[in-house]
Structure 1
Amino acid sequence: MRTEEVLAAIATGLWRWDNTARTVSLDAEAARLLGMPAEPGDYEESAVRSRFHPVDWNEVYGVVNLAVAEGTLAEARLRIVDERGRVLRTVRSRSKPVVPEDRGTEGYLLMGTLQEVAEARPGLGGPHAAITRDWRRSREAFLLDAGRALAEARSTEEVLRVAGSLSMPGFSPDGLAVFGSAGERLTIIGHHGHAAGDEEPFTDMPLETDYPAAEVVRTGRAIYLPSPEEYRRRYPTTWPLARRFGRRSWAFLPLVSSGRVMGAWMAGFRHPVGFSPDERAVLSTVARMLAQALARAGAAETERELSLGLQRSMMPSLGPDIPGMTVAARYVPTGGGLQVGGDWYDMIPLPNGRIALAIGDVQGHDVRAAGLMGQLRIALRAYASEGHRPDAVLARASRFLAGLTDAYEGAAADGDPAPRFATCLYAEVDPETGSLDIARAGHLDPVLIGVDGTAVIRQTAGGLPLGIEADSDYPTTRVVLEPGETIMLCTDGLIETGGHDMATGWDRLRPVLEEPTDDLEGMADALVQAVHGPGSHYTTGPLADRREDDIAVLVLRRESSATPRAPRRRSVLTIAQAEPERIAVARQLMRELLHDWRDPEQVDSAVLMVSEMATNVLVHTDGDALMVAEVSGERGRRRLRVEAADTSDELPHKRRPGEMASSGRGLMLMEMLADAWGVDPRGEGKSTWFELHESPEREEAADAAGWSEAERTAQAEKAAQAEKAQVEKAVD
C-alpha cells in the first residue's frame, strides 16, 4: 500500500508550497480537505489561500515566518471555508520549511501534512474547543495590552519595567534579562526578577562564549530550552551559571530592529514549559515589540542627550554679580523634537566696566534655528566686546544674520525654506546710575515694575528684526531704574502660549509681576509656572513637558540702599580740531570740578593728564575730542574718572621719547600719575581714560601738624614742584 493511501485512510493529506513560484501542490486527500476536487494537482497560491479563513491565514503566515526564522516545525489550526465564506471543517497543518541553497534566505519550500480534526458544532462545543477559544482570546488580549504598554514606554528603564510586568497567558516568566552587544562582547541592558549583582557573570561576556544569549546574538535565531537537562546537554560550559537560579525552562529570542539583531531577550520559568507553536508565537511577538520599544527608547534618550548637550553649550550661565543689582534668568525649550529652538539670553561684560543684557528669538524651533541662535549670540558678544554702542551692536548683528541667511537660500531646494530672521533686545546697563540704554530689533518691549509693585510695559523705540535688511537703524532709548525697581525682558513664548494673544497673555502675567517679593529667582520661576504650571524641564528648575514655544526670561532689579546716594559731579566738553585753544578751557574746567579736592598735587596731575589726552586726540587723529569728567563718592573718598573719546580705531602705544621729542609722553605720564588708566574700543573709535582716588591721608597729616592755610599751600606747591621734577627726570 502506498504512503498516500495510508494517509488518506486517516484523513491526512500532503501539500507542498513554493513561496517563490507562488504555487501549491496537493495530493487528492489534501485537495478534498481544502474543498477542491479530490485529485492531485498544482494550484495558484491565491486559489488555495481563498480556502482558508482570513483570520487563520494571517495567523499561519506568522507561524510559518517564525518557523523559517527558527528552523522549526510550523504547526497551526486552520478553518476551511467555501465560496460563500461558510466554515466546512477545521484542519491541523504541520509543515517543515526548507530553504534550497540556490534561493538564498528569501525563498523556501513548505512541505507538510493537512489533517482534519474534530471541531465541536455551535452549541455543542467540548472542553478542548472552549480551551482553544479561550486561549486565542486571552492571547489576543495580552498581545494588544503588551503592545500598547510597550509603545507608551519612553525610556529603556520604562521598557524593562513594562516587560517585567507582562503576564503571559498561561506561562508567565518569573525572570527576564535583556542583553545587548558592544563590539564582540555581550552586555546586560537590564533585568527583572533577579537580585542585585546576579548579572555580574554576564555583563562582559565574549560573543563566542557557549551561552544561549550569545548564540542568539550571533545567529539571530531563537533558542528554547524546555528542561534543565536540555540546557545542560546543549550548553555544558555555562550551565553552572544558570543552575543557581533554580529555573526549569528558558527561552532566548533575538531582538531585531530594522533588520539588525540588537540583542537578545531571556525569559526564565520556574515551571516546565513545552514551548508549543502557540507559546513560541507569543514569545516571538513580544520579542519583536520589545525590540521596537527598546529602539524607540534608545533613539529618544539619544535625542534628549543631544538636546541637553545643545542647551548646555548654547545657553550661557549668568556672569559675575553686578554691583548693586540682582539678575535672574530662565530658558525653557519647546516640548517637541530635540527640545531646542531659537530663543536665548545673555549677559556680557563690557570693556567700560558696564554690563550688557541681550535676549532674542530666532525664527523656528528646530536644529537650524538653534544653530543660527548660537552663531548670532557669539556675534553679539563679539560686537559688544569691541565697545560698540547698543544701536551699532544690533546694526552689525543684522548685517551678520542677513549674510548667514543669504548663504542658506540654496537650501530651499533641499526642502529648507530660507531665509530666517531674529528679534532681539539689547541693553547696556550702568550699575552705578541704574541706567539702561536699550536698542530693540522687532522684539517685545520690556516691562518695568515700580517700587510700589505696579507693572507697566515700557515703550521703547525699535527697528526691524535682525536679518530682514542688511542695513537697518536701531534707535536707542534710555531707561533709568530707581533703587528697588525691576525690569523684565522675555520672548513671546512667555506671552502667547496657550492660545493667548499679546493682550490676554499680558493680563495673565501681570498678577505675578505685581506680587511683592524680594526673591528674584522665585519671580522668574513664578512667571514660567503661570504659563505652564510646575513640571520637569526648566534649565534651572521644573516645568511641564508639553510646550508650544521656547521661553527665555531675564529679570533685573536695582537693589534698594539704606544710605543716601553719594553726590556726583559731571562735566562734558567737545574740543574740535579747529579749536585747539579749548584745551585751556578743559584745564580750567578740571580745576573748577576739583575745587575742593583735598590733594592739590592730584589736581595738578589731573590737569596735566587732561591736557595730554586732548592734545593727543587733536594731533594723532582727524576727529574731535569728547572729554567727559565725573567725580563721585563721599568727600575724602571720592573718585575722579576722565574719558577722552575719538573716532580713530588706532590704539596708542607707549614710547620712550628722546630728550628733544615733542610727543610720546602722554601714556607714560598717566602710568606714573593715575591710580588706574586704560584704552577701550568704543564702536567707531576708542576711549582713553584715567582715574584718581582721593586720599585723606596727606590732609589728615597736615591737620595733625597744625599747619596754617599758607603753610598748607606752600607745602602743596613744594610737593607739586618735586613731583614735576621727578616726572621730567623720568621722561628724560
Structure 2
Amino acid sequence: MRTEDVLAAIATGLWRWDNASGTVTLDGEAARLLGLPAESVVLPEVAVRSRFHPVDWNEINGIVNLAVAEGTLAEARLRIMDEDGRVLRTVRSRSKPRENRTADGRVDYELIGTIQEIAEPQPGTTAVHTPITGDWRRSREAFLLDAGRALAEARSTTEVLRVAASLSMPGFSPDGLAVFGVAGDRLSIIGHHGHGPGDEAPFSDMRLDTVYPATEVVRTGRAIYLPSPEDYKRRFPATWPLAQRFGRVSWAFLPLIVAGRTMGAWMAAFKHPVSFSPDERSVLTTVARMLAQALQRAGVAESERELTSGLQRSMMPQLGPEIPGMTIAARYVPTGGGLQVGGDWYDMIPLPSGRFALVIGDVQGHDVRAAGLMGQLRIAVRAYASEGHRPDAVLSRASRFLAGLCSSQESDAYGSGGGSGGKGAGPDADADSLSPRFATCLYVECDPQTGVLEVARAGHPDPAVRMTDGTVLMRPTSGGLPLGIVPDTDYPTTRFTLEPGETMMLCTDGLIETGGHDLDTGWARLRAILEAETPAPASPGPGHGEPGHAESTLPEPGHLEKLADLLVQAVHGPSSHHTTGPLADRREDDIAVVLLWRESEDCGCGTARRPSRPARRTMLTVAQAEPERISGARQQIRELLHDWADAEQVDSAVLMVSEMVTNVLMHTDGDALLVAEAVGELGGRRLRIEVADASDELPHRRQPGEMASSGRGVLLMEMLADTWGVDPRGEGKSIWFELAEQSKPDPDPLD
C-alpha cells in the first residue's frame, strides 16, 4: 500500500511549500482538505494562501522562524475558508522547514510536511489542544506589550531580573526562573526567582562543556524544551539529580541572544505539565529576546555609570586637609544625559605661601569635550597656583592655555579628514564640537590667619557672603572676560576680609538659573535659603551664664554640609556629594558650589566671646573705568540695610552714596572706595558710610540753579544725614556720614 493511501485513510495529506519559487505542491488529500478538487496539484502560493483564515495566516511566519531558530517542527492550527468566507474545517499542519540563503543574501524557506483535519475543541479543553483563539491572542499581545514596556524601563540588572520574576505569562506562568551569564568558558547564575538561598550554588560556576541544558543552549544557540521529568532524565542524566530536588515537571531553556551573540541563557521551570506548543514557545522566545536586550541595555548603563563615577572621582578633587580656623564644604551635581560629567568644577589648592586657593569654574557645554577641557584646565590652574603666582596671573595664564588648547583641537579636527571627503572637515562637520570653547572662573586666595581674601574673576558670578547675623550680600568684584576668549587678558584683583563667623558661597550659574530663573530671581531664591539657615548655636559650653561671657555662637557640627545640601535641594530635591541616576536626568545645567566658613573667635572656654550684635560691614571699590558699578554700590547698601526700621532712611543713604561715588568719578582721576558699617542693636543701630578717594580737593557748598546737573552733594548731606564730615588723609580724603536708626511709630487707626 502506498504511503499516500495510508495517510488519506487517516485524513492526512502531504504538501510542499517552496517560498523561492512561490509554488505549493499538494497531494489529493491535502487539496481536499483545502476545499479543492481531490487531486494532486501545483498551485501558486497566493491561491493557497486565500484558503486560510487571515488571522491564522499572520501566525505562520513567526512559527516558521521559531522552528528554524530552534531546529524543530513548525506546527500550526489553521482554519480553512470557503469562497464565501465561511470556515470549512480546522486543520493541523506539521512541517520541517529548511532555510536556503540566496547569493544576494535573501532567505527563502521550503516546508515539507503533513496537513490533517482535527475536531473542534469542546468546552474545558486545555490550552495545549486548543486552536488559536482571539481571546488567547489578545491576552498574549497584551502580556508581551506589558512585558516589553516593563523591561524597557528597567535601568539596572537587578531591576531587569525583578521584572522577569514578576512576569505572568498567559495560561502557563513559570514558578521558577534563572538567568545564566557567560564569562569565558564558565556559566554562572546572575539572578534567580522561586528558589531558596544557596540553591544556586551547584550552578554558580559551571564549565560550558558540562552536560546541562543551559550550557548546551549557550553552545548551540538553540532552545531546549523538556515537557516532562522523563525527557530531562533521558537527555541530561548527569545533571538530573540537581534539578530533581526542586520538584518541577517541565522546563524551558532559551538562549539570550543580542546582535547574533549568545550572552547567556534563561530558564523557566513549571510545577505543572507544559507541552510547549508553538504558541507557548513563541511567547517564551519573544520574552527571551526582550530579556536579552534589557540585560544588554542594563549592562551598558551600569558600565557608563561606573565610568561616570570613575571620571567624577578623578576629575572632582577631594577637599584637602583641614585648615585651622576655617571649614569648607562643596557639592558637584552633573546635568542629565550621556556620561553625566560636564564642564563645572571646583578645587582647593594649598599654596607655597601657607595660604590656600579656592577655585570654581564652568567650561562651556555639557558634553564629553567640555568634561575633557575642564579636566585639563583644572590641572593647568592648579599648576600655575602651585608655582606661587598671584590670582590675576593665574587667570591670565589659564586664559592663554585654554585659548591655545582650543585652537590646537580645532586644527586637529579639521585636519583629521585627510582630504575634502574626510570626516570632521568641511561644512558638514559638527559645528558645536569644532567651535572654540570658553570658561568662566572665580579664583580666591585665602589667608586663614587674617581672613583676607583676594579674588580674581573671569566672567563668573560674584561670591556671596552671609554675615554672622544672617544678612547676605553679593560681594561685587572686579573681573575680566571669560577664559579662552582673548589670550592676553588682565584680571584685576579685589580684596576683602571674611570676618569671624561669616560664610562665603561660590557657585556656578547652574545653581542660580536652573528652574526657569534668571540671575536676579535665582539669586533671590538662594539668598532666602542662606538667610534662613543661620547656624544654630551648639549646646552651651563651660562658662555659660558666667559674668563676662556672651552666649555661645559656635554652630552645630556639620552645619556647613547641611547648608550645602539645602542649596542643592532648593533646585533639584535631595542630593548627595555627587548625584547621578534618575534625579540627575532632570538637570538643566551642571552645578558646583563651594562654601567657606571662618570660625568664630573663641575665648578658650568653649564659648565665642564677642558682642551680642556684631557689626555689619561691607566694602566696595568703584573704578574710573567701571561707572556701571555705582548701581552695584546702591544695591550693596540696600542689602546691608534690608531690615532697617525706616525705609526712608534707607532711601536717603542710597541717594547720598550714589552722589558721593559719582562725585569721585567726575571730579577726580582716581577710584572710589566705599566702606559701610552698621553697629548696635536692632531698632537703635548707627550707620556710618565713608567714601575715600586719592584727591586732596575738599568738597564745598554750591548754589546750583534749577537746571544744574551737579553741585547738590553737600546740600544733600546737610539735609539727610544726622552728621557728616570730611577727613583729610596723607594722600586723599574720606567723606563720611552717619544715620541713627529710627523706628517709625505705627499709624493711628483713627487718623
User: Do these two structures clear the TM 0.5 threshold for a shared fold by scoring above it?
Assistant: yes
Q: Which residue of 1 aligns with 2:372?
A: 371
Partner of 1:382: 383
User: Does structure 2 retain, via aligned residues, the 8 Å contact 1:529–1:543?
Assistant: no
The reply on whether 1:110 has 2:89 as its aligned counterpart is no
Alignment-mate amino acid for residue 403 of structure 1: G
2:468 to 443, 446, 451: 451
1:377-456 correspondence to structure 2 within 5 Å: 377-409=378-410, 410-411=412-413, 412-413=424-425, 415=430, 416-456=433-473
Q: Which moved more, 1:110-119 or 1:368-377?
A: 110-119
RMSD: 3.1
Conservation of the 8 A alpha-carbon contact between 1:408 and 1:418: no
For residues 282 and 560 of structure 1, do their structure 2 counterparts lie closer, same or farther at Cα, with a shift above 3 Å needed? same
State the shift of 1:483 in Å: 1.5
Distance in 1 separating the partners of 2:29 and 2:237:
46
Opposite residue 60 of structure 1, the aligned amino acid is I
* Residue aligning to 2:77: 77
Structure 1 residues 466 and 20, CA, compared in 2 at 3 Å: closer, same or farther? Answer: farther
Equivalent in the alignment of 1:689: none
* Cross-structure match for 1:137: 138
In the alignment, the residues of structure 2 paired with residue 326 and residue 540 of structure 1 have an alpha-carbon distance, to the nearest angstrom, of: 26
Please report the TM-score for the alignment, with normalisation by the length of structure 2.
0.69
**Of Structure 1 and Structure 2, which has the larger fraction of its residues in helix?**
1
Q: Which moved more, 1:106-115 or 1:46-55?
A: 46-55
Q: Which residue of 2 aligns with 1:538?
A: 578
Instruction: Check the 8 A contact 2:331/2:577 in 1, yes or no.
Output: no
Which residue is 2:507 aligned to? 490
Q: Deviations over 1:356-382 (max 9, x none)?
A: 111111122222221111111111100
Q: Are the equivalent residues in 2 in contact too, given 1:93–1:115 (CA < 8 A)?
A: yes
CA distance in 1 between partners of 2:162 and 2:114 (Å): 42
Q: How does 1:470-509 map to 2 (within 5 A)?
A: 470-509=487-526
Aligned residue in 2 for 1:360: 361
Q: How far does residue 56 in structure 1 lie from its aligned partner after superposition?
A: 3.4
> Measured at CA, do residues 536 and 173 of structure 1 come closer, stay the same or move farther in structure 2, by a change above 3 Å?
farther
Q: Distance in 1 between the 2:340 and 2:22 partners? A: 49
Structure 1 residues 184 and 542, CA, compared in 2 at 3 Å: closer, same or farther?
A: closer
Look up the match of 2:679: none
Structure 1 stretch 488-497 or stretch 215-224: which is displaced more?
488-497
Counterpart for residue 92 of structure 1: 92
Question: TM-score, normalized by length of structure 1?
Answer: 0.71
Deviations 1:489-522, CA, capped at 9 Å, x for gaps? 1111111212222222222222111121231111
SS state of the match for residue 192, structure 2? strand
Residue 476 (structure 2) pairs with residue 467 (structure 1): no
Between the aligned partners of 1:333 and 1:529, the Cα distance in structure 2 is 14
The CA deviation string for residues 44-92 of structure 1, in whole angstroms up to 9 with x for no partner, is 6566556655543442211111111111111223356689988776543
Shift of 1:16: 2.3
Measure how far apart 1:158 and its partner are.
1.1
Structure 2 match to 1:587: none
CA contact (8 A) 1:334 1:340 kept: yes
| Inter-CA distance 151–84: structure 2 relative to 1 (3 Å threshold) | farther
Number of the residue aligned with 2:343: 342
Structure 1 stretch displaced more, 412-421 or 143-152? 412-421
1:708 paired residue number: none
Preserved CA contact (<8 Å) 1:330 1:540? no
Q: Deviations over 1:619-648 (max 9, x none)?
A: xxxxxxxxxxxxxxxxxxxxxxxxxxxxxx
Distance in 2, Cα, partners of 1:337 & 1:47: 54
Deviation at 1:444, TM superposition (A): 1.3
Q: CA deviation at 1:169?
A: 2.0
Aligned residue for 1:494, secondary structure, equals helix
Distance (whole Å) between structure 1 residues aligned to residue 233 and residue 58 of structure 2: 37
Residue 267 of structure 1: aligned partner = 268
1:585-631: CA deviation from partner (whole Å, max 9, x where unpaired) = xxxxxxxxxxxxxxxxxxxxxxxxxxxxxxxxxxxxxxxxxxxxxxx
2:243 alignment partner in structure 1: 242
Q: SS at 1:408's partner residue?
A: helix
CA gap of 1:92–1:401, structure 2 versus 1, over 3 A, is same
Report the counterpart of residue 600 of structure 2 in structure 1: 560
Residue matched to 2:333: 332
* 1:440 positional shift: 1.4
Task: Deviation per CA, 1:550-577: give whole Å up to 9, x if none.
Answer: 1110011222214599xxxxxxxxxxxx
Asked if 2 retains the 8 angstrom alpha-carbon contact of 1:99 and 1:105, the reply is no
1:22 Cα offset (Å) = 4.9
How far apart, CA to CA, are the structure 2 residues paired with 1:113 and 1:52?
A: 16
Q: Distance in 2 between matches of 1:28 and 1:442?
A: 89
Provide the rounded CA distance (Å) in 2 between the counterparts of 1:486 and 1:542: 32
Instruction: Decide whether the 8 Å contact of 2:52 with 2:79 is kept in 1.
Output: yes
In 1, are the aligned partners of 2:258 and 2:293 still within 8 Å (CA)? yes
d(CA) in 1 for partners of 2:185, 2:106: 25
Q: What's the counterpart of residue 155 of structure 2?
A: 154
Which residue, out of 563, 567, 580, partners 1:523?
Answer: 563
User: Does the 8 Å CA contact 2:227/2:274 hold for their aligned counterparts?
Assistant: yes
CA distance in 2, matches of 1:469, 1:27: 87
Cα offsets for 1:193-232 (capped at 9, x unmatched): 1111111111111100111100000000111111112111
The amino acid that maps onto 2:572 is H
Q: Distance in 1 between matches of 2:131 and 2:217?
A: 36
Would the alpha carbon gap of residues 379 and 271 (structure 1) be closer, same or farther in structure 2, given more than 3 Å must change? same
- Farther off after superposition, 166-175 or 4-13: 4-13
Which is worse superposed, 108-117 or 194-203? 108-117
2:568 paired with 1:551:
no
Tell me how many residue pairs correspond in the alignment. Answer: 561
> How far did 1:525 drift?
0.5
> Relative to structure 2, which stretch is displaced further, 260-269 or 91-100?
91-100
CA distance in structure 2 between the aligned counterparts of 1:262 and 1:26, rounded to whole angstroms = 42
- Evaluate the alpha carbon distance shift between residue 127 and residue 439 of structure 1 in structure 2; reply closer, same or farther with a 3 A threshold: same
Larger Rg: 1
Distance 2:267 2:106 in 1: 26
- Report the more deviating stretch, 242-251 or 47-56: 47-56
Indicate how the Cα distance of structure 1 residues 386 and 112 shifts in structure 2: closer, same or farther if over 3 A, else same. Answer: same
The whole-number CA distance in structure 2 between the counterparts of 1:540 and 1:186 is 32
Query: Which whole-Å deviations, capped at 9, do the CAs of 1:153-181 have from their partners, x for residues lacking one?
Result: 11111111111122222222121111111
Paired with 1:55 and 1:32, the residues of 2 have a C-alpha distance of 22
Over residues 310-364 of structure 1, what are the superposed CA-to-partner deviations in whole Å (9 max), with x where a residue is unaligned? 1111110101122221111001112222111111100000111111111111122
| Offset of residue 452 of structure 1 | 2.0
Q: Rate the CA distance shift 1:78–1:253 in 2: closer, same or farther, 3 A.
A: same
**Structure 2 unaligned residues grouped into runs of 5+:** 414-423, 536-554, 604-608, 611-751
**CA pair 549-47 structure 1, distance change in 2 beyond 3 A:** farther
Q: Match of 1:98, SS?
A: strand
Contact 1:487/1:557 (8 A) holds in 2? yes
- How far has the Cα of 1:408 moved from its partner? 2.4
